[in-house]
Amino acid sequence: MQNQAFHPLRREDPALLTGRGRYTGDVAAEGALHAVFVRSPLPHGRLRSIATEAAEQSGGVVAVLTAATLVAPSEAGRVVHMPPPNSLLPVASVPRIEPLARGEVVYVGQPVALVLARSLAQAQQAAACVQLDIEPLAPVLDFDGATPVTEVVHHFEASGAHPAVACEVHAALEVPRVLALSMEPRGMLAHWHAGADAATARLTVHLGTQSPSRAQADIAAALGWDEARVRVITGNVGGAFGAKSSLCPEDLAIPLAARRLGASVRWSSTRSDEFNSGMHGRGARLAGRLSVTAQGHFAALQAELHFTLGAWLPFSAVVPLRNTARILPGPYRVARLDVQGRAGLAHTAPVTIYRGAGRPEAALLMETLVEQAARAAGIDPVELRRRNLVEAADMPYTTPTGEVFDSGDYRRALELACERFGYAEQRVLQAQRRANGEVVGIGLALYVEPCGVGWESARVDWHADGRVTVATGSPAQGQGHGTTYARIAAEALKLDEQDITVVYGDTALCPPGVGALASRSTALAGSAIVQACRDLLARRAAGEALPLSSAGRFTGGEAWSYGCVIARMAVDRDTGRPTIEQITWVDDAGHIVHPELAKGQLIGGLAQGLGQAMLERLVYDGAGQLVTGSLMDYAAPRADDMPSAIDIKSFATPSPHNLLGAKGVGEAGCIGVPAALMNAARDALAPLGECALQFPLTSEQFWRAMSGQSA
């Protein structure tokens, strides 16, 4: 099979832009069986029987598998479960979900049976013949009824601090679930390689994943094999945003089916399946209370965080709760902090990390409270922030939750954003427009973004002809890592970028790695490349001749990006339609290797952050059915939703925790932009009083608020 691993994006842009990229669905495998899953139509129920006889007799069908028949007869009694979640927070009880449901169904869309046929049409036709007998059980769908599985508590009180409180504000915010909407839905090709016997068979898995090494380990564990017998290849992905960081039940069922039948199997999810059974993002209820002294200093912050995780726990399920809790109070000082957070199970699709993963929730809650406090105290919101910011001279700074800001100048970000936005002049103009009957608001948001912690790997081969191959365990899903890694190696070795070939996304050719998630690739994979290049240069300086090779891991401490977003929004008084007129954004992501790619990441994040704030929401009805199950019901941002005036300025305070001084950039737009838009919306309606607007900020909400009805 042709190797799909060589994807230096800088050389393949024309192919991708003209439709000649190679995604999972493009990989050919002659004779591969087509897989279609039969899914639960109910959110919760007792699975009494599965009638497969009619499907098995349908034309072209090779097998219809259930939980009882997915493993080989020689392994009768062996049960395969989904991998356990990351242990960043203690989990009281982990749901023991199998790739195919056994005994009970726990969410709409859960895979129950697997039909394999010679063609996709035959598999689809046969799947419709499978009959499920499910006894309905009452589902748990909301935050209050969710079964708690993990919690986090932070308490801090400065010594001798008992400041008198002049005013106190509170906010209650709902953060709806959203969908990642990758260009290519989930899918897999499990290519079977028969061996001389069962112990020598191998599997090559083509999978759009953010973590090929973890996928390899999880698939091998499910099969009961050594990892070396499973090869995972990740070609072009077309976006992942966290939703492809963990394996789904389908991702284990397909390799198990390939082993069970001794055949290659391919599966492609439909967009409808992505809505119903794919991994969702966000989904939280946030409540906070901020107390302010007469001098405008933050006396106390109290926060309660409730997250619903769905019916089972992907690897990173606890990350959003953990991040939200530990990031508060953001870039500010506070004399007292009390944070309580919990997350629980519900009979819905699973929730995983989604671009930002808890960082947007922390920024939204804190910045909403800061703006409300400014109005309540009669202090300009910029001035209130000035009085409470952590200063550059205090870096490294230990936060009330015990985190350590590595470097940064938050005041500079605020002042530069205000200067570029023309803040003082804009406030004057806003007053004039309001006097003329317009509804217009200005909203600010400062944010911090923990990123780039842990380890990553690299191998650099300097060939006899002077060319260099860089291999890394951190692949790409459209960020341009191939271009970035080539530039890092070229600068370190003082070579031309065209002399560098970058290899990623193939466990047979690349060293193991954590993967591309959590804004870590440039800081950690880039530093691993620099480390290997420095080793090669040292050996060259000692007189060793080419070819040379160096491989290893780099481990870095956590870096903290940050920035300031200012948005101006106008609302049509008659229809409630909001228009985002301007966004000014100052961001510090440390040393930036490739400014063009970094700006692309910022604009892409801005678009997704705007989508969450203004348009996107997954909705379950009272019966546990997803009523926003397609793009006919779920509004994603389009080109004409973007503001015409976007001003982005980056500056750098390098991180001391990695060899490049880099920080994360990919998630920033989803963190700062939604909070700024919420504040712009609430500021627009401030003459009417405090309006409890919620995401998404729809025309209906604005119209109701302006009409004196409940928002």
Interatomic CA distance for residues 570 and 681, integer angstroms: 8
Classify residue 267: in a domain, yes or no: yes
Query: With contact defined as beta carbons under 8 Å apart, do 593 and 481 qualify?
Result: no
The pLDDT of residue 12 is: 45
Residue 399's contacts (CB-CB under 8 Å, 6 or more residues apart) are 329, 405
Interatomic CA distance for residues 97 and 106, integer angstroms: 9
Interatomic CA distance for residues 257 and 259, integer angstroms: 5
Query: With contact defined as beta carbons under 8 Å apart, do 275 and 512 qualify?
Result: no
Query: With contact defined as beta carbons under 8 Å apart, do 127 and 335 qualify?
Result: no
For the stretch 284-336, pLDDT in tens is 999 999 999 999 999 999 999 999 999 999 999 999 999 999 999 999 999 99
Parallel, antiparallel, or unpaired: how do β-strands 645-651 and 578-588 relate? parallel
Interatomic CA distance for residues 67 and 614, integer angstroms: 42
Query: With contact defined as beta carbons under 8 Å apart, do 463 and 450 qualify?
Result: no
Whether residues 339 and 473 share a domain: the answer is: no
Long-range contact pairs involving 259-263 (C-beta distance under 8 Å, separation at least 24): 259/72, 259/192, 259/201, 259/203, 259/223, 260/63, 260/65, 260/69, 260/70, 260/71, 260/72, 261/33, 261/62, 261/63, 261/116, 262/192, 262/194, 262/201, 263/31, 263/32, 263/33, 263/62, 263/116, 263/192
The pLDDT of residue 145 is: 80
Domain-terminating residue out of 556, 578, 608:
556
| CATH classification of the domain holding 395 | 3.30.365.10
Interatomic CA distance for residues 555 and 60, integer angstroms: 52
Domain-terminating residue out of 522, 556, 590:
556
For 290-309, b/e burial (b = at least 16 CB within 10 A) is bbbbeebbbbbbbbbbbbbb
Classify residue 360: in a domain, yes or no: yes
Amino acid making up residue 604:
G
Lookup: tokens for 627? 């009523």
Query: With contact defined as beta carbons under 8 Å apart, do 357 and 317 qualify?
Result: no
Whether residues 481 and 576 share a domain: the answer is: no
The pLDDT of residue 362 is: 98
Whether residues 131 and 250 share a domain: the answer is: yes
The pLDDT of residue 15 is: 59
The pLDDT of residue 163 is: 83
| Helices 668-684/595-614 angle, 10° precision | 40
β-bridge mates for residue 651, sequence order = 588
Classify residue 272: in a domain, yes or no: yes
CA distances from 90 to 82, 84, 356 (A): 18, 12, 21
Classify residue 468: in a domain, yes or no: yes
Interatomic CA distance for residues 299 and 296, integer angstroms: 9
Whether residues 154 and 13 share a domain: the answer is: no
β-bridge mates for residue 39, sequence order = 111
Three-class DSSP category at 325: helix
> How many domains does the chain fold into?
3
Classify residue 143: in a domain, yes or no: no
Residue with tokens 């960082």: 359
Q: Which stretches does DSSP call E strand in 83-242? A: 104-105, 111-117, 131-136, 147-157, 167-179, 187-193, 202-207, 230-233
Lookup: tokens for 583? 């966004």
The pLDDT of residue 6 is: 34
Domain-terminating residue out of 525, 541, 556:
556
**Ranges of the chain whose pLDDT falls below 70:** 1-19, 710-711
For 395-417, b/e burial (b = at least 16 CB within 10 A) is bebebbbebebbbbbbbebbbbb
Interatomic CA distance for residues 96 and 600, integer angstroms: 40
Whether residues 155 and 77 share a domain: the answer is: no
Query: With contact defined as beta carbons under 8 Å apart, do 264 and 202 qualify?
Result: no
Whether residues 253 and 283 share a domain: the answer is: no
Classify residue 711: in a domain, yes or no: no
The pLDDT of residue 17 is: 60
Whether residues 168 and 208 share a domain: the answer is: no
For the stretch 417-466, pLDDT in tens is 999 999 999 999 999 999 999 999 999 999 999 998 999 999 999 999 99
Whether residues 306 and 373 share a domain: the answer is: yes
The structure's pTM equals 0.95
Interatomic CA distance for residues 188 and 255, integer angstroms: 9
| CATH classification of the domain holding 189 | 3.90.1170.50
- Residue count (the chain): 711
Query: With contact defined as beta carbons under 8 Å apart, do 653 and 212 qualify?
Result: no
Classify residue 313: in a domain, yes or no: yes
| C-beta atoms surrounding 669 within 10 Å | 28
Interatomic CA distance for residues 61 and 183, integer angstroms: 30
Three-class DSSP category at 619: coil
Question: Domain residues for 37?
Answer: 9-138+183-238+244-277
Whether residues 93 and 33 share a domain: the answer is: yes
Residue 149's contacts (CB-CB under 8 Å, 6 or more residues apart) are 91, 92, 93, 94, 309, 313, 343, 344, 345
Classify residue 326: in a domain, yes or no: yes
Whether residues 436 and 563 share a domain: the answer is: yes
Helix (H) or strand (E) holding 256: helix 249-261
Whether residues 578 and 656 share a domain: the answer is: yes
Q: Is the dihedral of CA 36, 42, 46, 49 positive or negative?
A: negative
Whether residues 233 and 120 share a domain: the answer is: yes
Instruction: Transcribe 385-438 into DSSP letters.
Output: HHTTBPPGGG-SEE-TTS-EE-S--HHHHHHHHHHHHTHHHHHHHHHHHHHTT-
The pLDDT of residue 574 is: 95
